[in-house]
Structure 1
Amino acid sequence: MPLTDQAKIQIVQERVFIKKVCRNCGALNSIRATKCRRCHSTNLRPKKKELPTKRA
């Protein structure tokens, strides 16, 4: 069921997309993180902001 309410979409985007991903181990970290919580690497990237598309 797709979301149509803009307020709910904004909440979901904040919860899901505003994170950083470790390039070494793939762990999700907070957006303010400077080091990975799992492997302590500083090689972090922001999470991609696109929803995955369904494949048939």
Structure 2
Amino acid sequence: MAKKLFPEAMARLYARMFVCKVCKSKIRADPAKVRLGKVKCRKCKSKALRLKRKPAV
């Protein structure tokens, strides 16, 4: 069973955090810019990003 995290910890770990679908690297970016395709992965230059998944509580 997952332990409930403090709101500060949730914001630090998951707020504005995206994961590259190609190389799985993590990127913190503005969601509006990601939707418009203005943010690229630093490692592989891909624009395919998804939100970091939160653990099931």
Q: TM-score, normalised by structure 2?
A: 0.65
Identity %: 28
Q: Does 1:39 align with 2:44?
A: yes
Instruction: Tell me, yes or no, if the aligned pair for 1:21 and 1:46 is still in contact at 8 Å.
Output: yes
Q: Which residue of 2 aligns with 1:30?
A: 28
CA distance in 2, matches of 1:23, 1:49: 16
Structure 1: runs of 5+ lacking an equivalent = none
Structure 2: runs of 5+ lacking an equivalent = none
Instruction: Tell me, yes or no, if the aligned pair for 1:17 and 1:47 is still in contact at 8 Å.
Output: yes
Amino acid at match of 1:13: M
Runs of 4 or more, structure 1, over 3 Å off, are none
Higher relative contact order (CA 8 A, sep 6+): 2
Rg (Cα) greater in structure: 1
CA distance in 1, matches of 2:29, 2:55: 17
